[in-house]
Amino acid sequence: MDNFLLLLYIAPLSYLFFKLFKLIDQKRHQCCYILDYQCYKPTDDRKLSTQFSGEVIKRNTNLGLNEYKFLLKAIVSSGIGEKTYAPRMVFDGRETDPTLEDGVVEMEEFFDDSIPKVLSRSRISPQDIDVLVVNVSMLAIVPSLAARIINRYKMRDDVKVYNLSGMGCSASLISINIVQNIFKCRKNVHALVVTSESLSPNWYAGNDRSMILANCLFRTGGCAILLTNKVALKHRAMFKLKCLVRTHHGAKEESFNCCIQKEDELGRTGFHLGKTLPKAATRAFVENLKVISPKILPVRELARFTIASFVRKMRQGRSSKGAGGRPTIDFTTGVDHFCLHTGGKAVIDGIGQSLNLSKYDLEPARMTLHRFGNTSASSLWYVLGYMEAKKRLKKGDRVFMISFGAGFKCNSCLWEVVRDLGDGNVWEDCIDEYPLENLANPFMEKYGWINDEDEATFVVPESI
């Protein structure tokens, strides 16, 4: 009888311990680690110098005087230097008539450079890859780019493949989110994320101001990221994903139409950047912060902000003169480094002002914009590479990534640095030159005179 009673106690306790162990083990295998990443740096013959930029602009015979002036104003205030990279077809003088092959070659050059490097450094074979996620927004081909990678590196027949298009500059965090969700239901998985943009077939040769602006901002680039949830490899990992939040305002017409690929009146395809873009970006940014802030900030900071907001609201109700400035959240209480999308100088400055960030916090994004330009979805990883090359990333540090994209989307995530980092990556040969104290680049020196010109008398000079 006593043994029977003992068995009645032991059986449920054993089951409880088994379920607890299973839950803990499942949580351990759901972690998302970055083993390594490799940004792409094209060859030097594709650097877009100041002089050559002027030649490209003059080649566009569709530009009138007003468009020419607008374009030069955009360049001199862009925050982009003259060491960024453009597609090969621009240097061949074929930007008005690109071919499908131009876009494919642009991608394959990136694939052949970055993917072997990241796999070799991580000592991972292509046959070890269980999940492949490729995001290139403006190039859809058959077979897909993902299929080309599988064919090139002879990956396994059962590799799970996701080929994303049309997701814009925020696509890399969407790719990471796909991997994160797969890790929740499968153990010991290796995932390869390939993020880039194909500029060759999307160079705009018309005169619509909202569409020629994209030519000033976007540059060639890409990044291959190797992730795993294999617990045995966590000691080799660089980063651990803490949380990720995605915000999509595609249901709002104003947000949906502010960033869109379309044809101009003469049927020339380009990428339209509308005047409502800043408003749409701000709205998505605020909504995203509302969700992710409680996940990454300490309770004391959330409580301080809540009390300050309540006090301000009470004062507003009692006084007709207002209640002072709006209270802000101090994100530095929960974040050590800010990895911002290099959408442009205005984007970086706007985020910095909204989050009350210091010059030090904004330095990686500003220097990345200057050196590499806006490389679309891969830009976050160039910013991260700058931080690593500067040896800023120490074990236990928390890195906050923020990106924006057409749709309109704002995606963000928080990474924890697993070990001290200091590899030069794509910055290795130039990191000692940065940060630049003065970002008045050669574009300003050579074309700045246009700001003083009178629209009524301005003419395009024969030589510039």
**Residues labelled catalytic:** 169, 248, 337, 341, 370, 374
**How far is CA 212 from its chain centroid?**
22
What 3-state class would DSSP assign to 405?
A: strand
Helical ranges in 263-378 per DSSP H: 277-296, 299-318, 345-355, 359-372
Q: Residue 174 in contact with residue 167, Cβ under 8 Å?
A: yes
**Helix 379-389 and helix 171-183, axial crossing angle in degrees, nearest 10:** 80
d(CA 30, CA 40): 29
Cα 414 to Cα 176, 201, 218, 242: the distances in Å are 12, 34, 26, 5
Helical ranges in 154-208 per DSSP H: 171-183
Q: Residue 382 in contact with residue 207, Cβ under 8 Å?
A: no
| b/e per residue 399-418 (b: at least 16 CB within 10 A) | bbbbbbbbbbbbbbbbbbbb
Strand order in the sheet with 222-228: 160-164, 131-136, 190-196, 222-228, 33-39, 239-248, 409-417, 398-405, 337-340
Strands 409-417 and 398-405 turn out to be antiparallel
Q: Residue 91 in contact with residue 46, Cβ under 8 Å?
A: yes
Q: Residue 427 in contact with residue 364, Cβ under 8 Å?
A: no
d(CA 382, CA 196): 12
| Residue 310 structure tokens | 């309540």
| Residue 342 structure tokens | 């290099």
Contacts of 38 (CB under 8 A, 6+ apart): 114, 115, 117, 118, 121, 223, 224, 425, 426
3-state SS string for 339-369: EECCCCHHHHHHHHHHHCCCHHHHHHHHHHH
Strands 190-196 and 131-136 turn out to be parallel
CA angle 217-263-344, nearest 5°?
A: 15
| Residue 169 structure tokens | 């500059």
At position 87, the amino acid (one-letter code) is: P
